[in-house]
Amino acid sequence: MKHVRMMVAALAAGTAATVMAGLYGDTPDARHAWAVHDMNRPAPKKVAAEPGRPPSDAIVLFDGTSLDKWESTKGEPTKWRLADGALESVKGAGYIRTKESFGDCQLHIEWAAPVKVEGQGQGRGNSGIFPMGNYEIQVLDSYETEVLPDGSNKNPNYADGQAGSIYAENPPLVNASRKPGEWQTYDIVFHQPVWEGETLKWPGSITVFHNGVLVQDHWEMEGMTTHCRRRPLAPHPTKLPLQLQDHGNPVRFRNIWLREIPSRYANTTHGGPAANEADVMALRSKTAAKLYAQANPADPNKAAALHRLLEVISYEKTDARINEVKAIAGAYLAELGGLDKQKLEGRKGEIIGVRNACNVLIRNKVLPEECTLRAGLQKIIDAQGFEKKR
Ligand code: MG
């Protein structure tokens, strides 16, 4: 919060402050193309997120009116039923899949186990959600699956197969199941495994909120779903249909929507585990060129010219740019040296602003500790008592 206030104060301080905005937080480095709090960093796309409605950039896969987005896994029309605004699994009809293919995604899906409770364990309200057709997030009536105080369990089951589990791999963190017949939600974040040829670079992950409760916390997949066995991960196309399971029970689904999201390896310039120095440096260079094109080294307002050039070198430090900074810095200090006390007082904010910009670059080792510009400005600030507590 303090930083936000400082930033707002800096932005409010005038035109020089506007161009110095990039020299506020720590500067770009080998793993980050942007500074901390970088005003040059592109703003995220706006998405409308109205209560009870899919986000504006979502692909609606089922809105209660049509099965148009779905087909059997043989590519034929599905025999699943459209009933009272829900998509209902039909015994023997087989799995269904989306006609469209997807990779990494955010998926919202609502489901209800049959009102009429039949069967036990895996036979009670079983279906499943398979991002890319290979990784099952279990759908099951697990409402009564719990050990009661007397040690009994009305519907015992294996933990890695109950609702919210990554089937055959990881139980849900808790059992957030509602009663059979009641609508339940899954909000899923799915990242597919990343391969380089036959070499696994990252196993991918699944995060699941069941009725708003976190049940899978960024689970990194161990394999592809099967029954009983541990089936290792294996390369597959980067886009595949989403599948829903027919396990013989009339489980219903509604409000299914999906947002495609970037792979954690798609943009290697954001820092994090996938940061690639060559990509980071290329983007920094591009930003530096863009900023330099907007800079005006001949600006009679030398402080403004300095701010722009100092920002440029925070992205890319070349001898040519450093020499330009040195030349303007020399002229700027000479100009200030010719001003009387009153005139210097009138430029207090500007002088402190340039000194602060130098400090950011020195702190980040873009400029040396013995930077002449900073030393010259600090001398004026001290002599004028600009930062003396009153
Ligand atoms: Mg299942």
Instruction: Using the mean position of ligand 1's atoms as its centre, give its distance from the Cα of residue 178 in Å.
Output: 17
Instruction: Using the mean position of ligand 1's atoms as its centre, give its distance from the Cα of residue 163 in Å.
Output: 9
Instruction: Using the mean position of ligand 1's atoms as its centre, give its distance from the Cα of residue 167 in Å.
Output: 7
In the three-class reduction of DSSP (H, G, I as helix; E, B as strand; rest coil), residue 390 is classed as coil
Instruction: Using the mean position of ligand 1's atoms as its centre, give its distance from the Cα of residue 15 in Å.
Output: 61
| Chain segment 79-126, per-residue pLDDT in tens | 999 999 999 999 999 999 999 999 999 999 999 999 999 999 999 999
Instruction: Using the mean position of ligand 1's atoms as its centre, give its distance from the Cα of residue 342 in Å.
Output: 79
The answer, yes or no, to whether residue 264 has pLDDT greater than 80, is no
Q: What is the pLDDT of residue 126?
A: 97
Instruction: Using the mean position of ligand 1's atoms as its centre, give its distance from the Cα of residue 146 in Å.
Output: 19
User: What is the average per-residue pLDDT within 180-197?
Assistant: 96
The answer, yes or no, to whether residue 188 has pLDDT greater than 80, is yes
Q: How confident is the model at residue 217 (pLDDT cuts 50, 70, 90)?
A: very high
Nearest to 208 by CA among 174, 253, 232: 174
Instruction: Using the mean position of ligand 1's atoms as its centre, give its distance from the Cα of residue 102 in Å.
Output: 21
- In whole numbers, what is the pLDDT of the chain averaged over residues? 93
Instruction: Using the mean position of ligand 1's atoms as its centre, give its distance from the Cα of residue 139 in Å.
Output: 6
Instruction: Using the mean position of ligand 1's atoms as its centre, give its distance from the Cα of residue 73 in Å.
Output: 16
In this structure, which long-range contacts are made by residues 260-265, counting pairs with CB atoms below 8 Å and at least 24 apart in sequence? 260/59, 260/102, 260/103, 260/104, 260/105, 261/104, 261/105, 261/106, 261/189, 261/191, 262/104, 263/103, 263/104, 263/191, 263/192, 263/194, 264/191, 264/194, 264/202, 265/194, 265/201, 265/202
Instruction: Using the mean position of ligand 1's atoms as its centre, give its distance from the Cα of residue 231 in Å.
Output: 16
Instruction: Using the mean position of ligand 1's atoms as its centre, give its distance from the Cα of residue 265 in Å.
Output: 30
DSSP 151: S
Phi, then psi, of 127 in degrees rounded to 5: -150, -160
Q: Which residues 6+ apart lie within 8 Å of 46 measured at CB? A: none
Instruction: Using the mean position of ligand 1's atoms as its centre, give its distance from the Cα of residue 177 in Å.
Output: 15
Instruction: Using the mean position of ligand 1's atoms as its centre, give its distance from the Cα of residue 90 in Å.
Output: 14
Instruction: Using the mean position of ligand 1's atoms as its centre, give its distance from the Cα of residue 3 in Å.
Output: 49
| Chain segment 48-90, per-residue pLDDT in tens | 999 989 999 999 999 999 999 999 999 999 999 999 999 999 9
In sequence order, which ranges of the chain are alpha helices (DSSP H)?
Answer: 2-12, 15-19, 277-294, 302-315, 319-337, 341-346, 348-363, 372-384
User: What is the average per-residue pLDDT within 273-284?
Assistant: 88
| Chain segment 288-327, per-residue pLDDT in tens | 999 999 999 999 999 999 999 999 999 999 999 999 999 9
The answer, yes or no, to whether residue 4 has pLDDT greater than 80, is no
User: What is the average per-residue pLDDT within 183-209?
Assistant: 96
Nearest to 286 by CA among 76, 11, 28: 28
Q: What is the pLDDT of residue 20?
A: 44
Instruction: Using the mean position of ligand 1's atoms as its centre, give its distance from the Cα of residue 249 in Å.
Output: 10
DSSP 2: H
For each of the domains in the chain, give its residue range(s) and CATH number, in order of start: 2-33+269-384 (no CATH), 59-260 (2.60.120.560)
Q: How confident is the model at residue 17 (pLDDT cuts 50, 70, 90)?
A: very low
Instruction: Using the mean position of ligand 1's atoms as its centre, give its distance from the Cα of residue 245 in Å.
Output: 6
Instruction: Using the mean position of ligand 1's atoms as its centre, give its distance from the Cα of residue 18 in Å.
Output: 56
Instruction: Using the mean position of ligand 1's atoms as its centre, give its distance from the Cα of residue 281 in Å.
Output: 46
Does the pTM surpass 0.95? The reply is no
| Chain segment 121-171, per-residue pLDDT in tens | 999 999 999 999 999 999 999 999 999 999 999 999 999 999 999 999 999
Q: What is the pLDDT of residue 10?
A: 45
Instruction: Using the mean position of ligand 1's atoms as its centre, give its distance from the Cα of residue 242 in Å.
Output: 14
Distance CA 132, CA 134 (A): 5
The answer, yes or no, to whether residue 274 has pLDDT greater than 90, is no
Instruction: Using the mean position of ligand 1's atoms as its centre, give its distance from the Cα of residue 227 in Å.
Output: 10
